[in-house]
Amino acid sequence: MIWLLLACSSDEPCTDMTQSPGALTVTEEEHALGWGESECAQCHPAWTLHQRDCVGVLDLEELEARTDLSDTTSCVACHGTNGAPELDTGSER
C-alpha cells in the first residue's frame, strides 16, 4: 500500500506532465502504473487538479467550468481514456 501511495505522489506537479503533444494525452509508456485504471482520483484527487498551468496555454477558470471533477469521463476529452474502455464516451479528440 505504501509503495502505491508513493508511486502516485510527486513533490512538483509539473514534473508529472506527459511528453505527448500539449502534455495532455496519457500514454501507456508514460503512465504504466495507472494505465487501464478508470478511477483516476485514486492517485489524482480532485482538489489537486488544474491548480497551475504547466504548459503555459491553459485558461484555468474556463477549464474549471468545463470539467466535472466528480465524473472521470469529463477528463477524456483532453487526457484520453487511459486505456480504460469504460471511459470511452466517443468524445476523445
The answer as to whether 92 is a domain residue is no
> Is residue 9 assigned to a domain?
yes
For residue 49, being part of any structural domain is answered with yes
- Residue 33 forms part of a structural domain: yes
Query: Which residue range forms the structural domain that includes residue 42?
Result: 2-87
What pLDDT, on the 0 to 100 scale, is given for residue 36? 92
Cα–Cα nearest to 33, from 5, 13, 12: 5
Mapped to the 3 state alphabet, what secondary structure does the chain carry? Answer: CHHHHHHHCCCCHHHHCCCCHHHCCCCCCCCCCCCCCCCHHHCCCHHHCCCCCCCCCCCHHHHHHHCCCCCHHHHHHHHCCCCCHHHCCCCCC
Average pLDDT, consecutive stretches of 10 residues, N- to C-terminus, the chain (93 residues): 47 59 74 88 84 80 85 85 86 47
Asked if residue 68 is part of any domain, the answer here is: yes
Angstrom distance (rounded) from CA 90 to CA 93: 9
Report yes or no on 63 lying in a domain: yes
| Residue listed under C-alpha cell 470511452 | 88
Residue 93 falls inside a structural domain: no
Q: What is the pLDDT of residue 10?
A: 53
74 located within any domain: yes
- Residue 18 CA, chain-centre distance (Å), reads 9
pTM recorded for the entire structure: 0.66
Structural domain total, the chain: 1
pLDDT, residue 17, reads 59
pLDDT of residue 16: 57
